[in-house]
Amino acid sequence: MKPQGSGDRRNHVAPFPNELPFRLIKAFSYVGETILDPFVGSGTTLLAAADLKRNGIGYEINPEIAFEAAKSLKNYQTKLL
């Protein structure tokens, strides 16, 4: 798996590659189902869910990280698969 950007190219202290949640969501859910992410962080899981045409819901207790994740999700355009 290709690692998430490092240094100044990332908006979270410990982002994981998009491919990780993408594979798991694709393998264990169906189109239209809802994916729960109890630790949103940078929002990678919710972005992968959107790409796979799943609904996503998550929460984050750190307001700064939550704001960055919301901003990232708001500006995200799903990929055509």
- Res 41: pLDDT: 87
- Res 4: pLDDT: 61
- Res 30: pLDDT: 98
The domains of the chain are located at 30-76
- Res 59: pLDDT: 92
With a cut of 70, list the residues of the chain below it in pLDDT. Answer: 1-15, 79-81
- Res 77: pLDDT: 77
CB atoms within 10 A of CB 18: 18
- Res 65: pLDDT: 87
CA distance 16 to 42: 9
- Which residues touch 53 (CB under 8 Å, ≥6 apart)? 31, 32, 78
- Res 76: pLDDT: 82
